[in-house]
Amino acid sequence: MIDELREELYLYNLLRQIFLKEPSKELIHDMGMIELTSGNPEISELKSFVEDMPGYGLRLMVGAIRKNENTLNEWIEDLALEYARLFIGPQNPPAVPYASFYLSESHSLMTDETIDVRKQYLEAGMAVKELYSIPDDHIGIELEFVYYLTQKTIEFFEREQRDEAARLFEIRGNFLNNHMAQWVPLFVARILNSTHEDFYKGAAFILRGIIAS
């Protein structure tokens, strides 16, 4: 189980960076160095996920980086514009990144769902760096939460604090199954239907695969 959690930790770390803000040059550079056909354990073990969708998504992203490596600076600027178009607006972005939009009948933001998510963060001991600047049910913040829970679960397990590890693992499972799985597939579908950029298509496939698993 711990080996699987380490694999997922790698993916959640990647996804939280991708969906919280436009990609940095450092992130693009690091992803471009991934050897998909080598013995890299973080990559080769991705086959353990559902129907290898995360692996497929990662290949799309790395392929897009390598395709644009000769004009990388310009492409990163294009990615920033595409991030803004998809997730920010100026108005009516095609892939709204907030859970409350999908879980409320009126497609409203900052609903009771947002407050409930914040309570779950606090109860699990995670301090939200962007508190009050980004709504707590933003996809990037929710991925940060799952990353935090996964990391802490691994840490407690390695310290043989099994009860605390089990508690956080249960919180993680409930959050993924009872909350994220209820809206993330709709969010992913909007991304796939709204962009021609393989970088964001790949991220969407990874997100869909890891939530489904």
Report the phi/psi class of residue 185: left, alpha or beta, with left for phi > 0 and alpha for psi in -120 to 50: alpha
Residue 116 clears pLDDT 70, i.e. is over it: yes
Give per-residue pLDDT as tens, 53-77. 668 899 999 999 999 999 999 999 9
CATH numbers and ranges of domains, the chain:
2-212 (1.10.3480.10)
Residue 10 has pLDDT above 90, yes or no: yes
> Mean of the pLDDT values across residues 107-130?
80
**What is the percentage of the chain residues whose pLDDT exceeds 70?**
89
Q: Which pLDDT tens digit goes with each residue over 96-108?
A: 999 999 998 877 7
| Measured distance CA(12)–CA(188) in Å, rounded | 15
| Tokens at 141, concatenated | 């913040």
DSSP per-residue codes, 74-101: HHHHHHHHHHHHHHT-SSS-SS--BHHH
Average pLDDT, the chain: 88
pLDDT for res 51: 40
Q: What is the pLDDT of residues 142-176, one digit of tens each?
A: 999 999 999 999 999 999 999 999 999 999 999 99
Q: What's the pLDDT score for residue 212?
A: 87
pLDDT reading at 44 higher than 50: no
* C-alpha to C-alpha distance for 70 and 76, rounded to whole angstroms: 12
pLDDT at 118 over 70: yes
Q: Taking a C-beta distance cutoff of 8 angstroms, is the pair 80, 57 a contact?
A: no
Name the β-bridge partners of 138.
98
pLDDT band at 39 (very low <50, low <70, confident <90, very high): very low
